[in-house]
Amino acid sequence: MRISRTATRLLAVPLVVCALGLIGANPAQAAVRTDRFSITERHFDFGDGDLGNISGDPKADGRLEWDLVNGTWEPRLLGRIYINNASGECVRVQMVITYQNGVVVTYTDNASEFCAPNGRTWYNDVDFTPVRSPYVASVVVRLQSAPAGGWSFATEGASAPYFTP
Protein backbone atom coordinates (compact mmCIF):
# COMPACT_ATOMS: atom_id res chain seq x y z
CA MET A 1 0.00 0.00 0.00
CA ARG A 2 1.38 3.34 -1.00
CA ILE A 3 0.80 6.50 1.12
CA SER A 4 1.00 9.86 -0.55
CA ARG A 5 3.24 12.66 0.73
CA THR A 6 0.22 14.75 1.62
CA ALA A 7 -1.24 11.99 3.76
CA THR A 8 2.11 11.49 5.50
CA ARG A 9 2.32 15.20 6.27
CA LEU A 10 -1.24 15.24 7.56
CA LEU A 11 -0.41 12.41 9.94
CA ALA A 12 2.93 13.92 11.00
CA VAL A 13 1.55 17.35 12.00
CA PRO A 14 -0.67 16.06 14.84
CA LEU A 15 2.18 13.86 16.11
CA VAL A 16 4.58 16.81 16.23
CA VAL A 17 1.98 19.02 17.93
CA CYS A 18 1.27 16.28 20.48
CA ALA A 19 4.98 15.78 21.18
CA LEU A 20 5.49 19.53 21.69
CA GLY A 21 2.50 19.58 24.03
CA LEU A 22 4.01 16.78 26.11
CA ILE A 23 7.33 18.57 26.32
CA GLY A 24 5.56 21.67 27.61
CA ALA A 25 3.54 19.63 30.11
CA ASN A 26 6.35 19.68 32.66
CA PRO A 27 6.00 23.10 34.25
CA ALA A 28 9.12 24.94 35.41
CA GLN A 29 7.17 26.03 38.49
CA ALA A 30 5.52 23.78 41.02
CA ALA A 31 3.96 24.51 44.41
CA VAL A 32 5.74 21.97 46.58
CA ARG A 33 3.95 22.62 49.87
CA THR A 34 1.51 25.07 51.43
CA ASP A 35 1.70 25.95 55.12
CA ARG A 36 -1.55 27.38 56.55
CA PHE A 37 -1.66 29.59 59.63
CA SER A 38 -3.19 32.66 61.26
CA ILE A 39 -1.73 35.32 63.53
CA THR A 40 -4.38 36.67 65.89
CA GLU A 41 -3.65 39.57 68.22
CA ARG A 42 -5.80 42.24 69.82
CA HIS A 43 -6.95 44.57 67.00
CA PHE A 44 -4.54 43.06 64.40
CA ASP A 45 -4.76 39.76 62.53
CA PHE A 46 -3.35 37.84 59.58
CA GLY A 47 -5.41 35.11 57.95
CA ASP A 48 -7.96 34.97 55.16
CA GLY A 49 -11.69 35.29 54.57
CA ASP A 50 -13.86 37.43 56.82
CA LEU A 51 -13.47 38.01 60.54
CA GLY A 52 -15.71 35.94 62.81
CA ASN A 53 -18.55 37.93 64.38
CA ILE A 54 -17.98 36.69 67.91
CA SER A 55 -14.27 35.89 68.02
CA GLY A 56 -13.01 38.67 65.76
CA ASP A 57 -10.45 36.20 64.40
CA PRO A 58 -10.04 35.37 60.69
CA LYS A 59 -12.36 32.56 59.58
CA ALA A 60 -9.63 30.99 57.42
CA ASP A 61 -5.87 30.65 57.54
CA GLY A 62 -3.43 32.59 55.38
CA ARG A 63 -0.96 30.60 53.28
CA LEU A 64 2.79 30.37 52.86
CA GLU A 65 3.30 28.62 49.54
CA TRP A 66 6.68 27.08 48.76
CA ASP A 67 7.16 27.29 45.01
CA LEU A 68 10.14 25.62 43.36
CA VAL A 69 11.09 27.36 40.11
CA ASN A 70 14.05 25.91 38.23
CA GLY A 71 15.66 24.77 41.49
CA THR A 72 15.05 28.10 43.26
CA TRP A 73 12.72 28.50 46.28
CA GLU A 74 10.08 31.24 46.17
CA PRO A 75 8.24 31.55 49.50
CA ARG A 76 4.95 33.34 48.73
CA LEU A 77 2.68 34.77 51.43
CA LEU A 78 -1.05 34.98 50.61
CA GLY A 79 -3.92 36.13 52.80
CA ARG A 80 -5.27 39.28 54.46
CA ILE A 81 -4.15 41.61 57.21
CA TYR A 82 -6.88 43.09 59.39
CA ILE A 83 -7.33 46.04 61.72
CA ASN A 84 -10.34 45.67 63.99
CA ASN A 85 -11.56 48.46 66.33
CA ALA A 86 -8.27 50.39 66.24
CA SER A 87 -8.77 53.84 64.75
CA GLY A 88 -5.63 55.54 63.48
CA GLU A 89 -3.49 52.40 63.60
CA CYS A 90 -1.41 51.00 60.75
CA VAL A 91 -0.45 47.40 60.01
CA ARG A 92 1.98 45.51 57.77
CA VAL A 93 3.61 42.08 57.40
CA GLN A 94 7.23 41.07 57.20
CA MET A 95 8.97 37.88 56.14
CA VAL A 96 12.06 37.03 58.15
CA ILE A 97 14.09 34.62 56.03
CA THR A 98 16.95 32.55 57.37
CA TYR A 99 19.35 31.29 54.72
CA GLN A 100 21.30 28.03 54.87
CA ASN A 101 24.50 29.89 55.85
CA GLY A 102 22.75 31.39 58.92
CA VAL A 103 22.23 34.88 57.51
CA VAL A 104 18.85 36.35 58.53
CA VAL A 105 17.20 39.02 56.35
CA THR A 106 13.90 40.83 57.03
CA TYR A 107 11.71 41.79 54.06
CA THR A 108 8.81 44.24 54.56
CA ASP A 109 5.67 44.11 52.41
CA ASN A 110 5.04 47.81 51.81
CA ALA A 111 2.35 47.05 49.20
CA SER A 112 -0.10 45.65 51.77
CA GLU A 113 0.64 48.21 54.51
CA PHE A 114 -2.35 50.41 55.40
CA CYS A 115 -3.92 52.50 58.17
CA ALA A 116 -7.46 52.37 59.58
CA PRO A 117 -9.33 55.68 59.18
CA ASN A 118 -11.80 54.81 61.96
CA GLY A 119 -12.64 52.15 64.54
CA ARG A 120 -14.40 49.78 62.15
CA THR A 121 -12.93 46.59 60.66
CA TRP A 122 -10.53 47.09 57.77
CA TYR A 123 -8.45 44.66 55.73
CA ASN A 124 -5.99 44.55 52.88
CA ASP A 125 -4.94 41.60 50.72
CA VAL A 126 -1.42 40.21 50.89
CA ASP A 127 0.43 38.62 47.97
CA PHE A 128 4.11 38.84 48.84
CA THR A 129 7.09 37.04 47.27
CA PRO A 130 10.16 38.98 48.41
CA VAL A 131 12.94 36.57 47.48
CA ARG A 132 13.93 33.82 45.08
CA SER A 133 16.87 31.74 46.28
CA PRO A 134 18.02 28.13 46.34
CA TYR A 135 19.47 28.81 49.82
CA VAL A 136 16.30 29.64 51.80
CA ALA A 137 16.22 27.54 54.99
CA SER A 138 13.18 28.92 56.86
CA VAL A 139 10.60 31.70 57.01
CA VAL A 140 8.89 33.46 59.93
CA VAL A 141 6.03 35.87 59.22
CA ARG A 142 5.64 38.90 61.51
CA LEU A 143 2.57 41.10 61.91
CA GLN A 144 3.47 44.66 62.87
CA SER A 145 1.52 47.77 63.85
CA ALA A 146 2.20 51.46 64.40
CA PRO A 147 0.16 54.57 65.18
CA ALA A 148 -0.70 56.52 62.03
CA GLY A 149 1.93 59.15 61.38
CA GLY A 150 4.27 57.66 63.98
CA TRP A 151 5.74 55.02 61.69
CA SER A 152 7.60 53.28 64.48
CA PHE A 153 6.39 49.73 63.91
CA ALA A 154 6.30 47.12 66.67
CA THR A 155 5.77 43.39 66.22
CA GLU A 156 2.30 42.32 67.42
CA GLY A 157 2.68 38.63 66.68
CA ALA A 158 4.61 36.11 64.61
CA SER A 159 4.18 32.70 63.04
CA ALA A 160 6.14 29.64 63.95
CA PRO A 161 9.17 29.07 61.73
CA TYR A 162 8.35 27.24 58.51
CA PHE A 163 11.21 25.27 57.01
CA THR A 164 11.96 24.71 53.35
CA PRO A 165 10.39 21.43 52.14
Predicted pLDDT at 132: 96
Average pLDDT on 125-147 reads: 96
| pLDDT tens, position by position, 52-76 | 765 678 889 999 999 999 989 999 9
Report which DSSP code applies to 161.
Answer: P
The predicted structure's pLDDT at residue 23: 41
Query: Strands, DSSP E only, in 14-153?
Result: 29-37, 39-41, 44-51, 58-60, 62-69, 72-84, 89-99, 104-108, 114-115, 121-128, 136-147
Tell me the per-residue pLDDT of 17-37, one tens digit each, with 9 for 90 and over.
333 333 443 456 667 899 999
The 10 Å Cβ neighbour count of residue 14 is 9
Mean pLDDT of the chain: 84
Q: Is residue 7's pLDDT more than 90?
A: no
Write out pLDDT tens, residues 107-135. Answer: 999 999 999 999 888 999 999 999 999 99
pTM equals 0.79
Q: CA 150 to CA 33: how far, in whole Å?
A: 38
Classify burial at 81, counting beta carbons within 10 Å of its beta carbon; exposed 0-12, middle 13-18, buried 19 or more: buried
pLDDT score of 16 more than 70: no
